[in-house]
Structure 1
Amino acid sequence: IPLAIEIAAAQARVLPVEAIAAGLGQRFAWLNRQAGATVPRQRTLHTLIDWSYELLSVPERALLRRLAVFAGGWTLEAAEAVSASGEPCAGLLITLVDHSLVVFGADAERQRYGMHETIRQFAQEYLRGSDQEAITRERHARYYAQLISRTAENRTGQTLPERLRTIQADHDNVRAAFEWLLIHDRDQALVLVADLGTKLNFWELGGFFQEGRRWLERALEATAGSVLHQRGQALLAATDLSSAICDFAYGLQCAEQAQQIFQQLGDQRGEIDAQLRYYNLADLAGELTDARGQLERVLDRAAQIAFTAGMAKAKQLLATIIVDTTNHYEAAITYGLSSVALWRETQNPFELAGALNNLGTALLENHEYGVASEAFAECRAIYQALGYQRGVALAIHNLGCTAHEIGEYANARALLAESLHMRHQLGLRRGYAYSFESLALVNEAEARYEQAIQLWAAAETLRSHIGAPLEMAARHQGMASLARLRAQLGEIGFALAWSKGGHMTTEQAIAVALS
């Protein structure tokens, strides 16, 4: 390793750093060019590692080759899964650590092994094309498919954050396993993405919206025409992620397909899940008519089969729909309180946080600011514990809206700006629109009329672009604000500010919102 550093450093005299970095993709071929005339043991980096490799016993070499299949580290259990049958893996790993070919304990819990990427490439050269490669890659993929399945079933009673950390630690290994399964076992690939997407909400909670969407699309395309429960679950996961990235048309299509599959399977709970997701997405897209009536019918059906989660979700959506379309806030609060109680009963923290947010919104609209803040604060705490940054941003946003309503404009601006920063980092375009609109109200309250108009215009342009119309109640609030702003600046001043805001790029609008 010291020789490798010297060789790379010598290149800095004649090559830009970018060229050196690009060359490191093939470490051996690139670094070997400048090794010089040294003794054979030190002639090249490859030779140095090869020398250490030759000192190993046959079983130790075999294990090192197999360990090259891992990406981003592994546990003892994972190493045993890819090892030869009956091989004393723990003892062999100790030897590899002693030879500095494997490292142990770099993670916080001191449970994981790892390998320097240069050594991993060396081991991959020996694994590639060998009679061990096929079985090693299959064992690797099967192990991680089983790990995801065990984690989703949660027979050990771990909390959701603990289970998510297990997967996050092996995210790169799960990626490699999925690629293998998609070629060699498509049904198992479908099971894997269904577990990740619905039982664990892995991509949603981790902010991997686009990656999850790609995996689901590929698995669904590879299993087109099948009528499997896992396919229905994968379609539900695709619906949820489509909401996050504002692809409502695809999400609605997935929800409809899921409903058809569950109907064919006679799975009433799955069918109700699909209906609720469809109604939620259709509401966001502005395509839902008679929303309350349809949701109440689904609620009745869920109650008839004692489907607690379905009842909780239906009541949660009813609270949202009523707030968005009417001023019957007491009814929304009643549904919201019942939804929160049911989700507490099911011990589902992810759904509980969503219900708390919806309840808080109903309380806010009913001018019950203290208890609304309590609901949003608990929502934020749960999402923070889950590591769900999209949810944290939502809760902070709503705390900012509450601060605005009680006249704490500086606090409101700070909270709304924090939320917008988070949404910007995650690329949540629909969230930008909500942030622009709420900050427009703060700007109006602080007599920053031009900025307020610009933000309203930018929000309308963005919503038109992504196909996410403003809810009815919020639209009325916006129209009232715009009428007041027009009175302050006059028709010409208003038109100029509106035109400027409407022609801003998203980045320019964010800059105005945060100024």
Structure 2
Amino acid sequence: MTSHNLPAEPNRFVGRARDVDELRGLLRDQRLVTLCGVGGIGKTRLALRVAGSVVGEFPDGVWLVELGRITSPDLVAHEIATVLGVREERSRPALDGLRVRLRGARALLLLDNCEQVVERCAELVAELLAGCPDLRILLTTREALRIPGELVWRVPPLDLPDARHPDAEAVLLFTDRAMAAGTRLAAGDFDDVARLCVALDGLPLALELAAARTRMLSPAQIADRIGDRFRLLTTGDRTAPARQRTLLATVEWSHDLLTAKERVLLRRLSVFAGHFDLDLVEQVCADERLLPREEVLDLLGGLVDKSLLLADGGRYRLLETIKEFAGRLLRKEDEHGWFRDRHLQVVCEMEERCFEAGLAAPRASWQERRRYFVRSRNLVDDCRVAVDWAVESGNALLGLRLAYVASAMLAVHGEIAEGVDWFERLLLLDLTGVPPEVVALCKGALAYGMEARDDLAGCERVVAEALKEQEKVPHSLGKGVTLNVAGVLLLRTGQFDRAERHFDEVVATTRQHDDTFNRVIAQSCLAVLAGVKGQLRLAQRHAGEALAVAKENGHPWHVAMATSQLAAVAEWRGDTEAAVTHYRAAAAIFDELDNRVEMERCLVMVAKVAIARGDHVTARSLLAECLALAQSTGQRLGMARVLRVLSRLADVEDDVQGSVLASAAAVALAEEMGEPVASGRIEQVLARARDRLGEGRTALQWSRGRELDPVEIARLILDGRREQGPLPVPAVAEVPHPVLTAREQEIAGLLTRGLSNRAIADELVISPATVARHIANIMEKLGFTSRSQIALWAVEHNLGSA
């Protein structure tokens, strides 16, 4: 009968099936396997599970030696000997007795919690392995032994939930332990459970302590309070060692094992947002007094070895629990403000170098630029916390400098919204002492962001301020951006002649100052204007010049933008083959740059060309991809583009209902953005619908298209659900129209045209708020719940005309 002293599992083992299988395999091939990880990660429980699963493979026993309570190195051999029943003799060291006991034995030793006596453990393990060739040893420790033959296996946190894996290991563990605590979770709790699991980094001990709290608090309440996790998570297993009964005790146990300088570095690392590298740590955390720069690398290695810092390919990360603990220590030492200031300064200087070399340089190859974009991308999380600190500390100058360069680098990837938020918060600070040119450039960058996210009214206001403030500022890349934004605003609001004069001026100015960045944009916009006017040769010339300048500049973003403009010109000329080739080439570059906004724009145009060619299968596939991209970016303009092309697809596939719904949804989005609507195409759609569906049903579908979720409408068309019949007509009560006032009847009639509150207000010369009150009154009087019901009722009572 096989011998072992493994304890019975106290509760159900959850998850880690892959880990158990991998470790079982390693124990067959490796003589020494060390499980390393931060306190609370589940090293002991995993090791016990693995050891229990291989008992049958070790005829001479599987033996657990618990070293967590041992503080003197001299007692380690004694503890192992006691477990194995080796009797110590006064004239012979315990190690000799252990060699005799284990020589020739096919046994597994599980040495648990070795970190506080790690050096003595290393010596003993090396001696035992050398003298006992059939022995296998499995250890758990926060710091590896670092001896020959050791295989270090770092225990990962439990898998975290996401959209594809809502039942991840962390969720299963929390749910299981909550049930053990007498709590039965409801279906509505699981979003909060997922939020909690992510906040706790999938750390098993933290999850178990949180689950114990469900006796008193809901998952939502626990998640809301998790910022104070060390006070909240204090109810542990009474039979566990004291260091494992609360989260704070577990982390403090790890911290107490550090050297003085490792403790200094750990607390300073708390200023970083997420992943960081050696260069950033050396610039932010080092000083001449406590932490010389030349020692930082070795100290980082020490924190990794002690499992308080995660390392991955030259980048490092603190678990949130460790980060919060370290941040408390930084505040306790009164270093928080100084190092947050230092972090802001260093991150700003790094981003400015990335901006100058990666974006602003007038001529450089992509190979030369690329590493700066990668560096900037890696700094995004730190930019966020640095801007937050600039706002909190009132450091407007550094905050604006950082926001300007960081938002420009993000914009190349199509990420606009965050920069807008940064500028809006920073520009509200006291700007005394901030050079006027910095304010002017930042307002221009804010206007760019507003235009890109379709806030045209806000853009018009801010760009006017920026232009006025930049009159006395020398030309720069930022000033060129402001000038281009002003031109794009004119273009998008239909002021074509003014826009053309503006872009001509920009081209002349950027030539004079060798600003290839903004010249590409201006020439591309001139190509658009020429195309709108039907001047296709001129459009081709401008687009060709834009591409030539883009290639000269060397940035692929410019090349992609100019290539997509060439595609548009080819489409206008009727050369669909060239259009598709150019659009796909541009989309591929945008994909490489991870610019999903522009990638979606190009692929939508390919889908439009595919529809014109009669290739509906390709169009449907592309539009499904574009829908996913538009959703992921959250941009209304992208969603409106998809819907407009889907309306065309529905039209040619004889889905009249879908065509109306998609067009209505696209118009609603355009009105929300303040975009002009191409009424000619809309009238064609509605005219065909009236012929097929009749006046009332067309009005109904138009109104419903404005009310329904645009994504649902897109999926309706993509899935071909029109075959299931038309959407159900909302119930309309038999209510005589005289129950409504004359104004209410008038507004009900206007709803048959699918007008927005703003459009109705403009037509009746009243305020949108008054329209909203009238519509609410109509719903109450008629017992309706939607505008589409009112529209259908109005058609049936001859109150309006589409």
Normalising to structure 2: TM-score of the pair?
0.58
Give the conservation status (yes or no) of the 8 Å contact 1:66–1:127: yes
**Residue of 374, 377, 384 corresponding to 1:175:** 384
Per-residue CA deviations over 1:31-71 (Å, capped at 9, x if unaligned) read: 22335376554453322332332232222221122122222
Q: Which moved more, 1:239-248 or 1:259-268?
A: 259-268
Offset, 1:388: 0.5
> What letter is aligned with 1:70?
F
Match of 1:280 in 2: 488
Match of 2:552 in 1: 345
Give the conservation status (yes or no) of the 8 Å contact 1:161–1:387: no
Per-residue CA deviations over 1:472-504 (Å, capped at 9, x if unaligned) read: xx6545544554555555555544443443444
> What letter is aligned with 1:192?
L
Match of 1:260 in 2: 468
Larger relative helix fraction: 1
Match of 1:163 in 2: 372
Find the aligned partners of 2:489 and 2:582 in 1 and give their Cα distance. Answer: 24
How many equivalent pairs are there?
Answer: 504
Q: CA RMSD in A?
A: 2.9
**Residue of 395, 402, 405 corresponding to 1:195:** 405
Q: Which moved more, 1:375-384 or 1:142-151?
A: 142-151
The runs of 5 or more residues in structure 1 that have no matched partner are none
Q: Find out whether 1:136 has 2:339 as its counterpart.
A: yes
Find the aligned partners of 1:143 and 1:271 in 2 and give their Cα distance. Answer: 25
Per-residue CA deviations over 1:68-120 (Å, capped at 9, x if unaligned) read: 22221321122222123225111222222222222222xxxx11112222222
Match of 1:394 in 2: 601
SS at match of 1:400: helix
Give the conservation status (yes or no) of the 8 Å contact 1:329–1:362: yes
Match of 2:330 in 1: 127
The runs of 5 or more residues in structure 2 that have no matched partner are 1-39, 43-204, 359-363, 720-802
Find the aligned partners of 1:20 and 1:503 in 2 and give their Cα distance. Answer: 37
**Residue of 240, 244, 248 corresponding to 2:448:** 240
Match of 2:348 in 1: 145
Match of 2:539 in 1: 332
Normalising to structure 1: TM-score of the pair?
0.88
Give the conservation status (yes or no) of the 8 Å contact 1:436–1:513: no
Per-residue CA deviations over 1:334-386 (Å, capped at 9, x if unaligned) read: 21111111111111222222222222112112111111111101110110010
Match of 1:98 in 2: 305
Find the aligned partners of 1:488 and 1:40 in 2 and give their Cα distance. Answer: 77
Find the aligned partners of 1:147 and 1:206 in 2 and give their Cα distance. Answer: 21
Find the aligned partners of 1:139 and 1:179 in 2 and give their Cα distance. Answer: 14
> What letter is aligned with 2:318?
M
Match of 1:316 in 2: 524
Match of 2:427 in 1: 220
Find the aligned partners of 1:136 and 1:454 in 2 and give their Cα distance. Answer: 55
Offset, 1:177: 1.5
Find the aligned partners of 2:651 and 2:695 in 1 and give their Cα distance. Answer: 17
* Rg (Cα) greater in structure: 2
Match of 2:165 in 1: none
Give the conservation status (yes or no) of the 8 Å contact 2:517–2:553: yes
Q: How does 1:384-463 map to 2 (within 5 A)?
A: 384-463=591-670
Q: How does 1:51-130 map to 2 (within 5 A)?
A: 51-81=253-283, 82-85=285-288, 86=292, 88-105=295-312, 110-130=313-333
Match of 1:45 in 2: 247
> What letter is aligned with 2:354?
T
Give the conservation status (yes or no) of the 8 Å contact 1:295–1:314: yes
CA pair 204-216 structure 1, distance change in 2 beyond 3 A: farther
Offset, 1:185: 2.9
Find the aligned partners of 1:389 and 1:320 in 2 and give their Cα distance. Answer: 22
Per-residue CA deviations over 1:138-186 (Å, capped at 9, x if unaligned) read: 2222221122112212289756554343333333222221222332532
Match of 1:186 in 2: 396
Find the aligned partners of 1:370 and 1:28 in 2 and give their Cα distance. Answer: 63
Offset, 1:271: 4.8
Find the aligned partners of 2:659 and 2:245 in 1 and give their Cα distance. Answer: 68
SS at match of 1:263: coil
Identity %: 26
Find the aligned partners of 2:589 and 2:670 in 1 and give their Cα distance. Answer: 29
CA pair 260-61 structure 1, distance change in 2 beyond 3 A: same
SS at match of 1:113: strand
**Residue of 23, 32, 36 corresponding to 2:234:** 32
Find the aligned partners of 2:261 and 2:706 in 1 and give their Cα distance. Answer: 68
SS at match of 1:151: helix
SS at match of 1:264: coil
> What letter is aligned with 2:437?
H
Find the aligned partners of 1:136 and 1:401 in 2 and give their Cα distance. Answer: 53
Higher relative contact order (CA 8 A, sep 6+): 1
